[in-house]
Amino acid sequence: MTVAAHFQFKNNTLHAEDVSLAALAEEHGTPLYVYSRQALHDAWDAYRVASEGRNVLVCYGMKANSNLAVLNEFKQLGSGFDIVSGGELARVLAIGGDPGKIVFSGVGKQVWEMRAALEAGVKCFNVESEAELLRLAQVAQEMGKVAPVSLRVNPDVDAKTHPYISTGLKENKFGIAIESAMAVYQRAAALPSLQVVGVDCHIGSQITEVSPYLDALDKLVALIQALASQGIHLKHLDLGGGIGIRYTDETPLSPTDLLDNVFRVLEQQGLAHLQIVLEPGRSLVGNAGALLTRVEFLKHSEAKNFAIVDAAMNDLLRPTLYDAWHSVEAVAPRQSEGSTPRYDIVGPICESGDWLARDRPMELQQGDLLAIMSAGAYAFTMASQYNTRPRAAEVMVDGAKAHVVRPRETLGSLFSTETVLD
């Protein structure tokens, strides 16, 4: 049984902290996202402890979960933010986040997004191509500003994760090949509307070993030293995010293990003066959330048993997109009677790819409530309205209290801005 620390069974009913998930589903309906506030704090604490006495800035990778309530928790804890769009910038500003602790990543920044970030005064633009560098220089010049930049370099390191979330190989769209970085840095340093401040690297997601980070770090150290020999001195080294979480039987890498190894290398190389920037997303929120869904029908056939639930791929895309594995728990487990049947947990969307879990041994009856675990990251943020399905409500639990942090969408809201021709 795989249940995150802040989701535990009490009196044979799964709870988030001290709140019954069955009670939440009864009050708010399903599908329903439920987050644990304490889980967010405890995940952050692992980074706080690892950073003590060190020059480290943790910038939450908010693409994992951008609900304002989640962002506000991390802001209050002292986090910066890693953004990838002008919309994410607007969210950080909406909760009063410090622009000076924002790093702006992403391969396709538009002019309006660059302008908004320059106006806000972000800490750094993580530039991912020479074309982007030149556009940013032009925009900054037109605004009479100097844009702080780092180059996201691609070290061609295999993070040993799913191909869709591996970002540090030569064939990936992200970053500038490390072999080309020197020339691009020299061009950036020569542009008066740019200020070179750092180097950035992000090799992938759901990484559970320190070795890929150290492989990338070796290449980054060589680049930093070569830049210094040319008179280009950096202020920070951004190692990105990517630390994995436990979905099933993984043994995740801890922030302390990562930073201990990173600072050991930097001290050996005379680079301990650099600020380290980290961009964790999944490891801060992944195990802080669950998706509640109710069994609508059970369908038995010679080849398969299906539990058809009211959540679908529009609510949780990861299984369809990445073949991702999520633990599925009955909120009120039934006693097994003989051999336990195995079910594919599927949704009502008209796609064969609409599945949430496969071949799970479960004692189920129609109407049972299920919790899809580890659904705090890349879950609601990837949700859509496919099949004209309202997106689920989001609730945050704080001890014995539950707060709706996003109400369920109404059917009318889905097409309220659409028009028809006369």
Q: Which of 87, 79, 83, 105 minimizes the C-alpha distance to 175?
A: 105
Q: Which of 59, 124, 201, 350 is an active site residue?
A: 350
In 3D, which of 101, 56, 29, 71 has the Cα closest to residue 311?
Answer: 29
Helix/strand number for the chain, H first, E second: 12, 21
- Report CA-CA distances (Å) from 147 to 93, 100, 135, 195: 19, 12, 11, 6
| Close Cβ partners of 277 (under 8 Å, ≥ 6 residues apart) | 56, 57, 58, 59, 80, 103, 198, 200, 236, 237, 238, 239
First to last CA, the chain: 58
User: In this structure, how many other beta carbons lie within 10 angstroms of the beta carbon of residue 30?
Assistant: 21
Is 201 a residue of the active site? no
* Distance (Å, whole) CA 58 – CA 243: 13
Residues 6 and 18: their CA atoms lie apart, in Å, by: 9
Distance CA 43, CA 203 (A): 21
Own/partner pairs, 299-308, CB within 8 angstroms, 24+ separation: 300/341, 304/344, 305/341, 305/342, 305/343, 305/344, 306/343, 306/344, 306/346, 307/343, 307/344, 307/345, 307/346, 307/362, 307/364, 307/370, 308/346, 308/347, 308/348
User: Which residues on adjacent β-strands are paired with residue 343?
Assistant: 360
For residues 103 and 356, give the distance between their C-alpha atoms in angstroms, rounded to a whole number. Answer: 33
CA-CA-CA-CA torsion sign (259, 264, 269, 270): positive
- In the chain, the amino acid numbered 153 is V
Cα gap 176→170, rounded to integer Å: 9
Place of tokens 């038995």: 300
Rounded Cα–Cα distance for residues 196 and 190 (Å): 10
DSSP label at residue 301 = -
Integer Cα distance of 355 and 365 in angstroms: 18
Active site residues: 350
